[in-house]
Amino acid sequence: MAKNNSARKRTVHVLSSPNGKGVYAQKSIVKDAVIGRVRGEVTTDDSRDPRYLMELDEGYLLRPKAPFRYLNHSCNPNCELFVWDDEEPEPETGTRALHVSALRRIAIGTQLTIDYAWPADFAIPCHCKSRQCRGWIVDAGELAKIKNKR
């Protein structure tokens, strides 16, 4: 069993990127493929690094573990987080698992990104270099709030 797992090449791996670590495709990934489940600690404590927590159902948050804790932001991401609508929630918390899926085909060696969509209060300048870059790591709907503030 363990032997099979180690022989099987994983879909993604963590490498250093221009912004700290990043998640990169180790195989080519087809559009709409489910790349993996985001594993991590389910918590309600948002006092430490709230930006890097992922929202779950019922007010819970997920503090993701590797590899997906290293998903970087892009204003034109190639991945998104989703839950299976028909998945049974965890009995203790009522939360459902988060998965990462491909929004388009992803070539080997490409960095996987998601749109962090942070509220305006958390926004920091974005350097994702995509043509659609909003200039800030912020939810597209909150961008006007930043422009009004500055």
Stretch of 16-24, 37-45, 63-71, 72-80 lying at the interface with Zn ion (CB under 5 A):
72-80
Question: Does residue 91 contact residue 59 with C-beta atoms inside 8 Å?
Answer: no
Of 43 and 76, CB closest to Zn ion: 76
Contact 134, 124 (CB under 8 A): no
Q: Cα separation of 2 and 48, whole Å?
A: 35
103 binds Zn ion (CB under 5 A): no
Among residues 14, 133, 143, 146, the one that binds Zn ion under rule CB under 5 A:
133
Residue 50 carries which DSSP code? Answer: G
- With CB under 5 A as the contact rule, the residue among 75, 102, 114, 138 that binds Zn ion is 75
Closest CA to 136 of 74, 77, 53, 55: 74
Least Cβ distance, residue 133 to Zn ion (angstroms) = 3
List interacting residues with Zn ion (CB under 5 A): 75, 126, 128, 133
